[in-house]
Amino acid sequence: MASVSKSSGGADTMMWQPQEDGVREICSLLQKQISPNSPLIWCRQQLQHFSQLPDFNNYLAYIIARAQGISVEIRQAAGLLLKNNLKSAYRLTSHSFQQYIKSEMLHSLGASNRHIRSTVGGVISVVVQQGGIVGWPELLQALVQCMDSNDLNHMEGAMDISITIT
């Protein structure tokens, strides 16, 4: 269980990398949480335990943004948990981890799956509510780039987020 709290690069956002065991463990818990026959209380207790680790939200951001071999349902569950965690703990999160989460969400603006884009939009909305749009100038630049894109997923993602944060 403690493997989740370790990362190869410490607090540096460019160096932070999830440990494969940690990703697997969290994805397994998320899978159990969304399964109808799983012990929900146990899953919630385990996720609550993990949420006390400083880089847990980074893992969730990684799972929704980059875990391509993971089901959409698990990635979406990671995003929803991230959104809920950030509502109460964004301001307590280290600046470097905030930057990592923002970077991962920007990476996913044009995700090919509509559900992932929508969940990413929810996370972005919470980050803007908690940290302000002024604290995230890269977001506006990314939205403009997505709107100028010829990729429908990027355009829809940018449009949905623009509506959500205004």
Helix pair 56-66, 72-89: axis angle to 10 deg? 140
User: Hey, where are the domains in the chain?
Assistant: 20-165
Contact 90, 129 (CB under 8 A): no
Q: Which residue has the higher pLDDT, 157 or 9?
A: 157
6 pLDDT higher than 50: no
Specify the pTM: 0.89
The C-alpha torsion from 18 through 9 and 118 to 51, rounded to 10°, is 70
| Alpha carbons within 13 A on the beta-carbon side of 100 | 29
Helix pair 20-34, 56-66: axis angle to 10 deg? 80
8 pLDDT higher than 50: no
Spell out the alpha helix ranges (H) of 4-113.
20-34, 40-51, 56-66, 72-89, 95-107
pLDDT by residue (tens digit) across 65-74?
999 899 999 9
Q: Cα(first)–Cα(last) distance of the chain, in Å?
A: 40
pLDDT by residue (tens digit) across 86-140?
999 999 999 999 999 999 999 999 999 999 999 999 999 999 999 999 999 999 9
User: What is the third-level CATH fold of 20-165?
Assistant: Leucine-rich Repeat Variant (1.25.10)
